Amino acid sequence: MADQGVVLIVDDTLTNLEVLFDSLINADFKILVAEDGESAIDTANYALPDLILLDILMPDIDGFETFRRLKANHATADIPVIFMTALSETVDKVKGFALGAVDYITKPFQQEEVLARVQTHLRLRQLTKQLQEQMAREQAIRAEAEAERSRATNILESITDGFFALDQEWRFTYLNPQAEPLLQRKREDLLGKNIWDEFPEAIHSPFYQKYHRVATQQISVEFEEFYPPLNVWFAVHAYPAKNGISVYFQDITTRRMAQEELQRQYQRSQLFAEVTLEIRQSLNLDEILQTAVTEVQRILQADRVLIYQLWADGSGSGVAEEVLPGWSPVLGRKFPEEVFPIEYREQYRQGRVCNIPDVTDQKEHVPSCLIEFVQQFQVKAKLVVPILIKSELWGLLIAHQCGAPRSWTSFEAELLQQLADQIGIAITQGQLLDQETRQRQELGRSNADLQQFAYIASHDLQEPLRMITSYLQLLERRYKDRLDENASEFIGYAVEGAARMKTLINDLLAYSRVGTHGKAFEHIDCTASVKQAIANLKLSIAENQATITWDELPEVVADSTQLTQLFQNLISNAIKFRSVVPPTIHISAISQAENWLFRVQDNGIGIEAQYADRVFVIFQRLHNRAEYPGTGIGLAICKKIIERHDGTIWIESEPGKGSTFCFTIPEQA
Amino acid sequence: MTESSILSTECPERLIEILLVEDNPGDVRLTQEVLREGNIFNHLSVVEDGVQALEFLQQQGNYSHSPRPDLILLDLNLPRKDGREVLAEIKFSTHLKRIPVIVLTTSQSKEDVLRAYNFHANCYITKPIDLEQFIKVVRSIELFWLTIVKLPAE
């Protein structure tokens, strides 16, 4: 494929640049990049790209200011600019359009969307260029003709413009040779004849008024006008003459048509941008589809616009429809597989556009099953484009003309396809939102389950334990004299087991509450948290003659209670697994890759690397209970706290050389 | 003053009537045993759910001859009618609201504690797991509510 055009991407975020670069380079665009407004202006001025993708939020000079400077520079003023903005910033979009941006795209970027928009605007740009060139050519030709006219005496015979002269009675007194093909009449047939007799349709047209003005007011006039009987656009210069008027004229039909087509395309592109904004402003699927059909109907002035969703079994139904009064609605009707058989679906999946100006035309090969459908809903002409989601056929966007056959222009087909692409993107976004909502609800449910569990643990599980303990103790109390030593020992073990069970339940409860009973995050001074943790551990620190030191610690955004609990668990863990020498514990923090990296280093017994992950697993113990009491909950709670703060925790250790617990907390929550 | 001297001076002439609302037979028995070991001359009535508790208090149905309790020991999690509702109905009844209600439950949840006091529970006690502790709790109830506290006559 040849080069599609040169696109300048302006964005200060490297990842955005990369995403855009990748998606456009694959489609054969030449890409230039700039990371700020100043260099964007320089690059644009030097390279004159066909299109600029411009980020709004940038340091120094922002997108709007960059845009203003580009527009102020004659060289870059005509380059179309597409703004890039976050999905939610409607104000920016509106401001962008108001300044004269041709379009916007939203972040995060959808590859297909970026491509579709860039292609549309490059195509428009190309058409504009062609038109400008054509106009320049015409002007050159005319200038040449003017020059010649002044040189030659028999100029009227040789000029490329048509020329005729009329006397005061509106009779042709002279026509040059070029007038013949332009008026589609012979000179000899017209000479001496009254113009209004020969061209009666002109009487009720501007030609009549303008020529009369020239004659009565003795002024020259210049105008462009369409003359329907000849189906020609004329550019006319009429001058007063001694005995009547002189008229120079030329056929400008081609230019006018191109200009009008461009105007139409421009209007439709504006409409397209508006519709896209409408469609994409909603994330509610039904709303998106209804807006889409309403807007498409408005733009195409079709009698019926339908979004038809295809189901997995090949059948389908209309899911949104806009139909003019007088034509039957299709909405809600379910259609069997035969309406769109598999081979048709496959063609649509590959991007087929079905353009049928007249369904009764035998050449169109409308399948017999469809003819019935077509008759039932009075369809005379139809235009069908696929709605694809991730390269799969989701459904069809269908325009029907019911009153009469209709030739759909390629532009209309293209516009419909672009809108179908937008609908596809909007549906994907809607589906993403649905999915997210569902996940949130599930999370809510599972949180509720956890709360329920916590209540059960705090109440229902305690009850049987209390029965076991109390009755064993009552047994011991009442029958002490009648029990031997063995029986007392057995009762002792049973009571101890129940007590441990109670501790386990309480630990489990504490663990589950990290997720469900957390407080809101706030700015916390870590030094204060460490001091609080040390105060809570005062007894144990004194008993073990432990020394705790710390460097300057940062402020973080965290749950203050949990942060204190974290330091407390880590310090108490370091004291518990001390070696023979008194424990020394040092706490430090450094900034690393947008995170604070904390290190809690001790001189304890350390552990072997193979157990490094197991220490964070709930109720995992690496030592026997007599030597190191506890359930093995402390580090599991640390891990859960850190995970709630979007960080990670790990241990670096060697037996005999102490351990270092490392954890990260994001610098910006 | 020792415990016995309080008892000797303040010991009421009639039997102290206690209503225990508790669905767990193990707990019922334990409470009976511990009260029996104590020094207070009391009569313990037991109902197993909230509906029975209110019938007992309003002397309805099978409980038409039930005594009016001087003290109610109320568990929260009960079949049929929950202890929280029973507490609310007692405290909103002009006839019953003066009877002290001691919420005696295994629940440690903050919500339960707060709710009980909002409904004017006279105190909230979490049942200890250990028997010695439980005995202490029952003795404390006896000492405080049945000897130190001056209860309303009716």
Quote the mean pLDDT of chain A: 84
B109/A498 CB distance under 8 A:
no
Contacts 24+ apart (CB under 8 A), B85-94: B85/B50, B86/B21, B86/B50, B86/B53, B86/B54, B87/B116, B87/B119, B87/B120, B87/B121, B88/B119, B89/B54, B90/B57, B91/B119, B91/B120, B91/B121
Residue A318: phi and psi, rounded to 5, are: -70, 130
- The reported pLDDT for the residue numbered A366 is 65
A459/B107 CB distance under 8 A:
yes
- The reported pLDDT for the residue numbered B127 is 87
B131/A498 CB distance under 8 A:
no
A458/B127 CB distance under 8 A:
no
Q: Which residues of A touch B106 (CB under 8 A)?
A: 459-460, 462-463, 466
Each residue of A180-202: pLDDT tens digit? 888 899 989 999 999 999 999 88
The two three-digit tokens of residue A588, written as one number: 């430090």
The two three-digit tokens of residue A381, written as one number: 């002409």
Question: Does any CB of chain A come closer than 8 Å to the CB of residue B75?
Answer: no
A469/B131 CB distance under 8 A:
yes
Q: DSSP for A229-263, please give it.
A: GGTEEEEEEEEEETTEEEEEEEE-HHHHHHHHHHH
DSSP B148: I
A459/B77 CB distance under 8 A:
yes
Q: Pick the more confident residue, A432 or A68.
A: A68
Residues of A numbered 444-483 whose beta carbons fall under 8 angstroms of chain B's beta carbons: which are they? 455, 458-460, 462-463, 465-467, 469-471, 473-474, 477
Q: Pick the range with the lowest mean pLDDT from A237-246, A494-503, A570-579, B65-74.
A: A494-503
Question: Does any CB of chain A come closer than 8 Å to the CB of residue B26?
Answer: yes
Task: Provide the number of CB pairs (under 8 Å) joining chain A to chain B.
Answer: 46
- The reported pLDDT for the residue numbered B21 is 94
DSSP H/E element including B19: strand B16-21
The two three-digit tokens of residue A64, written as one number: 């709007």
In the predicted model, what is the mean pLDDT of residues A41-48? 88
Test mutation, A463, A502, A508, A509, chain B, max B CBs within 10 A:
A463
Question: Does any CB of chain B come closer than 8 Å to the CB of residue A499?
Answer: yes
Cα–Cα distance measured from residue A618 to residue A640, given in angstroms and rounded to the nearest whole number: 10
- Neighbouring-strand partners of residue B21: B47, B74
Contacts of residue A390, defined as CB under 8 A and 6 or more positions apart, other chains included, come to A428
Highest mean pLDDT among A60-69, A94-103, A157-166 belongs to A60-69
Q: Pick the more confident residue, A48 or A509.
A: A48
Question: Does any CB of chain A come closer than 8 Å to the CB of residue B133?
Answer: no
- How far off is chain B from A468, nearest CA to CA, in Å? 9
Each residue of A493-525: pLDDT tens digit? 888 888 888 888 888 878 877 777 778 889 999
A470/B107 CB distance under 8 A:
no
B130/A465 CB distance under 8 A:
no
Q: Does residue A153 carry a pLDDT above 70?
A: no
Q: Does residue B125 carry a pLDDT above 90?
A: yes
Q: Pick the range with the lowest mean pLDDT from A344-348, A458-462, B26-30.
A: A458-462
ipTM of this model? 0.71
- How far off is chain A from B120, nearest CA to CA, in Å? 22
Q: Which residues of A touch B128 (CB under 8 A)?
A: 466
Of B115, B126, B58, B110, nearest to B82 by C-alpha is B115
Q: Which residues of A touch B35 (CB under 8 A)?
A: none
A467/B77 CB distance under 8 A:
no
From B111, which residue of chain A is nearest by alpha-carbon distance? A455
Q: Pick the range with the lowest mean pLDDT from A25-34, A316-325, B67-76.
A: A25-34
Give the one of B33, B129, B130 whose C-beta lies nearest to A462's C-beta.
B129
Test mutation, A470, A473, A491, chain B, max B CBs within 10 A:
A470
CA angle A371, A372, A378 (to 5 degrees): 85
CA quadruple B100, B105, B108, B109: dihedral sign: negative
Contacts of residue B49, defined as CB under 8 A and 6 or more positions apart, other chains included, come to B21, B23, B78, B79, B80, B81
Each residue of A327-362: pLDDT tens digit? 888 887 777 777 777 788 888 888 888 888 887 776
Question: Does any CB of chain A come closer than 8 Å to the CB of residue B37?
Answer: no
**Which amino acid is located at A646 in the chain?**
D
Q: Which residues of B touch A466 (CB under 8 A)?
A: 106, 127-129
B24/A463 CB distance under 8 A:
yes
Test mutation, A466, A467, A491, A516, chain B, max B CBs within 10 A:
A466
B134/A470 CB distance under 8 A:
yes
Q: Pick the more confident residue, A19 or A282.
A: A19
B109/A465 CB distance under 8 A:
no
Q: Does residue B8 carry a pLDDT above 60?
A: no
- The reported pLDDT for the residue numbered B9 is 42
Q: Which residues of B touch A502 (CB under 8 A)?
A: 129
- Architecture in CATH of B14-146: 3-Layer(aba) Sandwich (3.40)
- The distance from CA A424 to its chain's CA centroid, rounded to whole angstroms, is 11
A470/B130 CB distance under 8 A:
yes
CA quadruple A613, A616, A620, A626: dihedral sign: positive
Give the one of B106, B128, B131 whose C-beta lies nearest to A474's C-beta.
B131
Give the pLDDT band of residue A148 (cuts 50, 70, 90). Answer: low
Test mutation, B23, B106, B109, B133, chain A, max A CBs within 10 A:
B106
Q: Pick the range with the lowest mean pLDDT from A131-135, A307-311, B21-25, B70-74.
A: A131-135
B33/A474 CB distance under 8 A:
yes
B30/A499 CB distance under 8 A:
no
Contacts of residue A202, defined as CB under 8 A and 6 or more positions apart, other chains included, come to A195, A196, A208, A227
Q: Are A579 and A604 in contact, with CB atoms under 8 Å apart?
A: yes
Between the alpha carbon of residue A195 and those of residues A189, A208, A245, A247, the distances in Å are 11, 10, 12, 12
Give the pLDDT band of residue A474 (cuts 50, 70, 90). Answer: confident
The two three-digit tokens of residue A322, written as one number: 């806009």
Cα–Cα distance measured from residue A223 to residue A256, given in angstroms and rounded to the nearest whole number: 13
Test mutation, A459, A477, A508, chain B, max B CBs within 10 A:
A459
A458/B130 CB distance under 8 A:
no
Question: Does any CB of chain A come closer than 8 Å to the CB of residue B154?
Answer: no
Q: Pick the more confident residue, A564 or B129.
A: A564
Q: Are A72 and A248 in contact, with CB atoms under 8 Å apart?
A: no
- The reported pLDDT for the residue numbered A138 is 83
Place of tokens 């006018």: A256
Coil, strand or helix at A80:
coil
The domain locations on chain B are 14-146
Question: Does any CB of chain A come closer than 8 Å to the CB of residue B130?
Answer: yes
Q: Does residue A581 carry a pLDDT above 50?
A: yes
Q: How many CA atoms lie within 13 A of A587 on its CB side?
A: 23
Give the pLDDT band of residue B10 (cuts 50, 70, 90). Answer: very low
Q: Are A349 and A388 in contact, with CB atoms under 8 Å apart?
A: yes
- The reported pLDDT for the residue numbered A193 is 93
Question: Does any CB of chain A come closer than 8 Å to the CB of residue B106?
Answer: yes
B106/A469 CB distance under 8 A:
no
